[in-house]
Structure 1
C-alpha cells in the first residue's frame, strides 16, 4: 500500500486493493478448491449423471441428457455460492479480525476505491471458478456447444446480484454466526431448490412461481440455459440482464454506504 500523504491515481488505488487480495489468495488458494470446484463437480456427478440416468430426455431437456440441462444451472449456483462466500466472512474479517480495511483506508486509498477493489476481486474469483468448472465439466460431456462460454459472464452477474447484498450485510454486522448462517440456510438453500435449478419452475404451484421470479438465481439459470441451448429472444434476455444489473447496483450502493459508515469516513 502507498505511504500516507502520497497521491495515488484512482485506477492505481483500486489495483493496489486487488493486488493485496490476490497476494493472499495466491498463498491460500488450496483452501478454496473444494468449495469452488470439487463440490459443484461432485454435485453435478451425483445429480446430473446419477439421478439423471433415471430421467428420460424430453422436451424440457431439448432431447438431451439431463446432465446437459442441469450443468449450466450448476454453474450459476456455483457462482452465487462463491460470490456469497467471498462477500461474507472474508469481508467481516477484514473489518473485525485483522482490520485490514482500516489499514488500507489509512493510506491515500479511499473507501470508494476499497469497495471497488473488493467488488472487482469477487468478480474475478467467481469468473475463475466458473471457467474452471466449465473446463472440467466439458471433459465429462456436460456441455454440447462452445456457446456455453457465454454463460460464464451471466453466472458472474447472477452471483454479484446476490452477493453485493451480502457484502452490505458483512459491513453491517459483528455477529457472523447468526447473520451469515441465516443467509446460507434460509436464503441460498431454498433459492437453489426453487429457482429452476433442477427443474422448470412451471412444475411449481402457480402461487409460488413469483417467488422464483424475484431471485437472481432464476434469471441467471434462464440466461445460462439460453446460452447452452441457443434460444431466447433478445427482449427477454435484455429483461433478465437489466434485472440482475439493477440488483447488483442496488446492493453495491448499499454496501458502499455501509463501508463508509463502518470506516467512519
Structure 2
C-alpha cells in the first residue's frame, strides 16, 4: 500500500486527469500570449532594461509570476471546497491519512502542476533564443520553491475561512499588487523608496530575482542564499499554519 502522502498526491492527480483541459489556457497558453504581447509588443517601444532587451528581461518575471499566480489560484477554492462543499478532507481524515499527509500530498501536487507549466514555458521561450545563460535550467527549482512559499500560507488561509468572498480580497490586495510591483515588469528600484520594502517582502520578488539572475547569468540583488532562505522561511511558516488550520477545521 502506498504511503498516505503519496496516496493523497495520487488522489489529486486522478482528479486532475479529469479536469486538465480546463487548465490548458491559463497554465500554458496565457503566459505565452502575455509574453508575446508585453515582451515583444511593448518591448519594441521600451527597448532595453538594465542593458538587455526587454523581452529577455521580462521572461524570468513572467515565469515566476506564472508560478506565483498558479499557486495562489489553485490553493483557494480547491482547499476551501475540501472542507466546506465536498468534505473530502474529512473523508481522508477518517482513514489513516494524517493532517501532515494531506498537506504534504497537496503541496506535492501543486509543485507538480507548476513544474509542468514552467518546463513548457521554458521550452517555448528557449526556441526564441531569449535565455542568456545555461543557469536558466535552475529556474524550475526556483519556481518550485516559490510555489511552496506561496501555496503553503494560501492553503492555510483557505482552511481558516468559511466563505469564498474572502478570496476576492486575496486576489485584489495580495496577488495583483505583488504581480504588478514585485519586479516582473519593471525594476523595483523605480518605485519610491518608501514603497520598496513592500516589494521586498513579497515572495514573488525573491523568485523573480533568482529567476532573472539565472536566465541572465548575473548575480541576484541579494546573496542567493538570502533569497532562498526567505522563501524557505515562508514555506515552513505556511506549512505550520496550514497544519494548525487543518486540525482546527477537521474538528467541525
In the alignment, structure 1 residue 95 sits paired with structure 2 residue 53: no
The aligned counterpart of 1:20 is 11
CA distance in 2, matches of 1:242, 1:130: 22
SS in 2 for 1:244: helix
Q: Deviations over 1:205-255 (max 9, x none)?
A: 111111111111111111001101112279700000000100111011101
The aligned counterpart of 2:225 is 238
CA distance in 2, matches of 1:49, 1:33: 22
In the alignment, structure 1 residue 193 sits paired with structure 2 residue 183: no
The aligned counterpart of 1:182 is 169
8 Å CA contact 1:80–1:160 kept in 2: the answer is no
Stretches of structure 1 that go unaligned for 5 or more consecutive residues are 1-7
SS in 2 for 1:171: helix
CA distance in 1, matches of 2:227, 2:239: 18
In the alignment, structure 1 residue 41 sits paired with structure 2 residue 28: no
CA distance in 1, matches of 2:222, 2:43: 32
Q: Paired residues, what number?
A: 252
8 Å CA contact 1:92–1:170 kept in 2: the answer is yes
SS in 1 for 2:194: helix
CA distance in 2, matches of 1:234, 1:92: 37
CA distance in 2, matches of 1:94, 1:145: 42
8 Å CA contact 2:212–2:220 kept in 1: the answer is no
The aligned counterpart of 1:71 is 59
RMSD: 1.7
CA distance in 1, matches of 2:59, 2:160: 35
CA distance in 1, matches of 2:144, 2:45: 31
Stretches of structure 2 that go unaligned for 5 or more consecutive residues are none
Q: CA deviation at 1:155?
A: 1.7
Q: CA deviation at 1:116?
A: 1.0
8 Å CA contact 2:71–2:147 kept in 1: the answer is yes
The aligned counterpart of 2:152 is 164
Q: CA deviation at 1:142?
A: 3.3
